[in-house]
């Protein structure tokens, strides 16, 4: 068992770094919990660095919690820097953490990733955009996200739809315009997203299938 003595601040950082890379995931979880329980801005780099390589979802979630316990002026610049990493997990986890912190100073860096070629990065950026979009810019962001309609598989399309729905009423006009697209995949995705907006409890799979049928019928008329 890895034990971290939170009363000994002099040696805490070294112990924390060792514990965060322990072979046992439960030890790493306890280390992240300790870092969040006794927050210290000096932990920022170690926590962010671990997010980039941590294989366990629950440990990553605890790392995010620990980072959220630190002052935003310490974490946000470091997380924005991480968005330039060449590692997909590093960028995705940084986006996720920024969405939880909710500091809009990160918005320009997040907006730059809305069309990332990596699906996981784009998906997380869409979700983060909903949390950080500047008030009054919802329609602009919805129009930007609409250029991604039709992208990817079912799960990725559902992620985009949920993000667009999360932007609120301004998305409706954008979806109406997208339903006039010459691309049946875009029309189908726009229709399914609108159904999801009007009825959040609807089944997205059925909505997509219905929208595709509508698109086919529309192309034959």
Higher pLDDT pick, 198 / 9: 198
What do you get for the CA distance between the two ends of the chain, in Å?
69
Going by C-alpha positions, the residue among 24, 79, 95, 83 that lies closest to residue 54 is 24
Please tell me the predicted confidence (pLDDT) of residue 92: 97
Q: Is pTM beyond 0.75 here?
A: yes
CB contact at 8 A, 132 and 97: no
Task: Give the pair of three-digit tokens for residue 176.
Answer: 């109406």
Band of pLDDT at residue 203, cut at 50, 70 and 90: confident
Residue 2: pLDDT band by 50, 70, 90 thresholds?
A: very low
Q: Between 199 and 56, whose confidence is greater?
A: 56
Q: Per-residue pLDDT tens for 34-55?
A: 999 989 999 999 999 999 999 9
> Helix axis angle, 44-51 relative to 57-68, nearest 10°?
150
- SS3 per-residue string spanning 96-159: HHHHHHCCHHHHHHHHCCCCCCCHHHHHHHHHHHHHHCCCCCHHHHHHHHHCCCCCCCHHHHHH
């Amino acid at each position: 068992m890895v034990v971290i003595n939170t009363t000994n601040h002099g040696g805490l950082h070294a112990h924390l770094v060792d514990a965060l890379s322990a072979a046992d995931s439960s030890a790493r979880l306890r280390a992240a919990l300790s870092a969040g329980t006794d927050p210290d801005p000096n932990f920022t780099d170690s926590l962010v660095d671990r997010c980039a390589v941590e294989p366990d979802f629950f440990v990553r979630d605890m790392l995010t919690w620990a980072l959220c316990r630190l002052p935003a002026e310490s974490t946000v610049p470091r997380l924005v820097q991480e968005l330039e990493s060449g590692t997909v997990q590093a960028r995705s986890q940084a986006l996720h953490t920024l969405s939880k912190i909710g500091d809009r100073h990160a918005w320009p860096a997040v907006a730059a990733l809305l069309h990332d070629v990596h699906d996981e990065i784009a998906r997380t950026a869409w979700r983060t955009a909903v949390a950080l979009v500047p008030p009054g810019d919802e329609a602009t962001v919805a129009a930007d996200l609409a250029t991604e309609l039709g992208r990817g598989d079912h799960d990725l399309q559902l992620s985009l739809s949920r993000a667009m729905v999360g932007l609120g009423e301004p998305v409706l006009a954008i979806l109406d315009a997208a339903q006039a697209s010459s691309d049946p995949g875009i029309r189908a995705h726009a229709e399914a997203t609108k159904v999801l907006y009007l009825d959040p409890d609807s089944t997205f799979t059925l909505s997509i299938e219905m929208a595709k049928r509508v698109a086919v019928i529309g192309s034959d008329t």
